Amino acid sequence: AMRTAVLIACLTGAAAFAPSSFLPSTRVRAPVQAAAPRLRTPVDARRARPVAASSVRMQTATGVDIAALTRAANEARGLAMDSIAAAKSGHLGLPLGCAEIGAVLYSDFLQHNPKDPQWLNRDRFVLSGGHGSMFLYSWLHISGYDLPMKEVKNFRQHHSMTPGHPEFPNSEHNTPGIEATTGPLGQGVVNAAGIAAAQKMEQAMFNTKDHTLFDSVTVALCGDGCLQEGVSAEGAAFAAHEGLDNLIIVYDSNDVTLDKMAEYTQSEDTAARYTAYGWEVVTIDGHDINAVKNTLDKFRASKNGKPKLLVCKTIIGKGIDEVAGTNAAHGEAGVKYVTEAKKKLGLTEPWQVSQDTYKYFEGVQKRLSSKYDAWKQTYNNWKSANADKAKLLEMLQKKHTPSAADMFKAIPEISKGKDIATREAGSIVINHISDLVPQFLSGSADLHGSNKNYIKNGGNFGRGFDKTYAGKNFYFGIREHGMGAIMNGIAFHGLFRPSGATFLVFVDYMRASIRVASLAELPCTYILTHDSIGVGEDGPTHQPVETTASLRVIPNLDVIRPADPEETVGAYVHSQQRKDGPTALILTRQNVKTLDSVPVQTRREGVLKGAYVARKESGDLKLIILAAGSEVQHAMAGAAAPRR
């Protein structure tokens, strides 16, 4: 009698992330370089490269109340000082150094509606330097989002709406106005490229000659650290190549990093580098409200096929003279000087926001509401004239996907009696998935031909050649990390479900992006082929013997390694059923045995359960064999072998 059962373990779940307030901070620490020796008088002399006067700076921005915005900027500085002092941790530098930028963004530039944070045609703002989160929380509160003062005071506390780094609305946090989870530097600027790509796609899919339904832009705020990270270079090259002229990166260029002044670790001309990528670049004084407003307005109007980089020369920690312009401003070292600093800014109360500022931003909200109401009328007219497009948009907005049962019914049996690689099976399944889930997108880091994940008749995304912005296939180039961060941006945007492919052994290049997707509960799919020593003659550099195990330990990442074509169907269906996190599909290059002895339905549905019994014992149970992926065929053969 056969006494061995074979249990196929396809899917692993994982423990939930620890609450953000319990996680160790990676960037809150005392500066290595002591502040005192670096101080100069006056503090404003810390600007290493003064910005020459330009036409942008000298013009007065139309309709801008400089006095009101200056007052609001100083009050935003005060909120950051008080919240960081109360939390006894945090980063003062960016919120204080970029206050004028925030005042312009939230009063006179961003197309948004604090009363409807999910408005489809809103501009997106991404704080790439997430450690400066009090910048974002201060401006969300001041501009009228549902972020009450008690939450601003609760900065960095467990279960508050103001965690240490911004977190995209998920099961742990639901802070309105947060467009992306940012933490590891550089991720946010590339997330912004992904959001901008999704905006281009929605424009191509839904705008008509009679109705411009979508015309939004994406703005990201970053610093020297973000642009030193390699992923930002990958994203910058992609954005320029694909003509994402709706992407604006505001570079907080304060010449300071955490350990030392930036000149200690960088000497390149960043503006020239981005010009070489194909970006439109302008350098201004980041504390000049007129210059910030005028340049941003020109960037919005520019449809030249170039993403935009606004280099803002700023003073880190501006407002606290004892640390301003030095690396000591990076953390909370300036907290002990807060009381005197606030007095100099005219702030006499803790967490002070004047009624004049609240009233001013109520006026801003009224102005924004009139634009919002006009858009709603455009939407209604568009909907009446474009019933099919309206139905599709509503489905995408609701994030609808067919049930697993309906998807299984629509996908025929893949390869009965024929042994094929699971990546080959995936090439068949993915085209059925595309038909069933129109928001499904598929990209690859220059390996469409090897990963077998190309959507036939899906078109290619981008500009030039045979590309359009409605294309469903993304050519990311040899940029795995950039691919992962761009996918996250597309998912943050909310209408589309991105997937991206590479060899499994290269997934470590994009691990940081996968971890963020897991934390943010994004429905991304990673198609990772060439999964084992079966890669063979490529040698050990391409044999990912430890990689699957390393993916399984990432909280909230589902990892599926199907054993045959029908399990591959189940794996893809599961990935499209998930709405609370990403899925990694681990596929073979080599052919595997089709498990014809197991019913098709059992194999497909077994994946959804995580594991199933492929061969049951026929007598007393003596041994259980656990296997997944290409090892299942060997486990089945071993279980059937005669025993002594």
Question: What's the CA gap between 328 and 541, in Å, rounded?
Answer: 42
Residue 297, class by beta-carbon neighbours within 10 Å (0-12 exposed, 13-18 middle, 19+ buried)? middle
**CA distance between the termini of the chain:** 12
Beta bridge partners of 11: 560
Question: Which residue bears the tokens 């002399």?
Answer: 45
3-state secondary structure of 420: strand
Active site residue 480: yes
Name the strand (E) or helix (H) holding 444: strand 440-444
Cis check for the bond before 24: say yes or no (omega within 30 of 0). Answer: no
- Please, which residues have CB within 8 angstroms of residue 542's CB and are 6 or more apart in sequence? 503, 505, 530, 535
Question: What's the CA gap between 47 and 375, in Å, rounded?
Answer: 43
* Residues 113/122, Cβ–Cβ less than 8 Å: yes
Half-sphere exposure of 10 (CA within 13 A, CB side): 30
What's 400's DSSP letter?
-
Q: Which two tokens stand for residue 404?
A: 């697993």
* Residues 493/198, Cβ–Cβ less than 8 Å: yes
Residue type, 365: Q
Q: Catalytic residue, from 75, 480, 521, 566: name it.
A: 480
3-state secondary structure of 600: helix
Question: What's the CA gap between 397 and 148, in Å, rounded?
Answer: 28
What's 563's DSSP letter?
S
Dihedral, CA of residue 298, residue 302, residue 306 and residue 308, to nearest 10: 20
Question: What's the CA gap between 515 and 231, in Å, rounded?
Answer: 15
- Which of the residues are catalytic? 480
